[in-house]
Amino acid sequence: MDYLTFPFNINTMCSTTGIDNIYSSANRPIASTKDWVTYPYPISYRHNSRGFRDEEWPNNLDDVVWCLGDSFTKGVGVPYEHTWPSILQTTSKKHCINLGIDGAANRLILNIAKQIISEHNPKYMIIMWSYKHRRYEDPWQFIHYEGDEHNSKSVEEFRYCFNTVNDLLPNIYNTTVPTDISDLTQLNNILHKYESLDFGRDGFHFDYLTAESIVDSIMQHFNFRKYDNEL
In angstroms, the Cα distances linking 170 to 57, 86, 154, 205 are 24, 24, 23, 28
pLDDT, position 134 = 84
For residue range 41-80, what is the model confidence (pLDDT) as tens digits? 999 999 999 999 999 999 999 999 999 999 999 999 999 9
pLDDT, position 72 = 96
pTM of the shown model: 0.90
Residue 139 CB neighbours (<10 A)? 19
For residue range 7-43, what is the model confidence (pLDDT) as tens digits? 778 888 876 666 787 665 544 556 677 778 789 999 9
Residue ranges of domains in the chain, CATH in brackets: 22-222 (3.40.50.1110)
Check if the beta carbon of residue 212 is closer than 8 Å to that of residue 87: yes
In angstroms, the Cα distances linking 106 to 8, 32, 48, 93, 163 are 20, 30, 23, 28, 12
Torsion 101-105-108-109 (CA) sign: positive
For residue range 96-149, what is the model confidence (pLDDT) as tens digits? 999 999 888 899 999 999 999 999 999 999 999 999 988 766 656 656 665 567
Given pLDDT bands bounded at 50, 70 and 90, which one contains residue 85? very high
Q: Which amino acid is at 68?
A: L
pLDDT, position 227 = 73
pLDDT, position 1 = 44
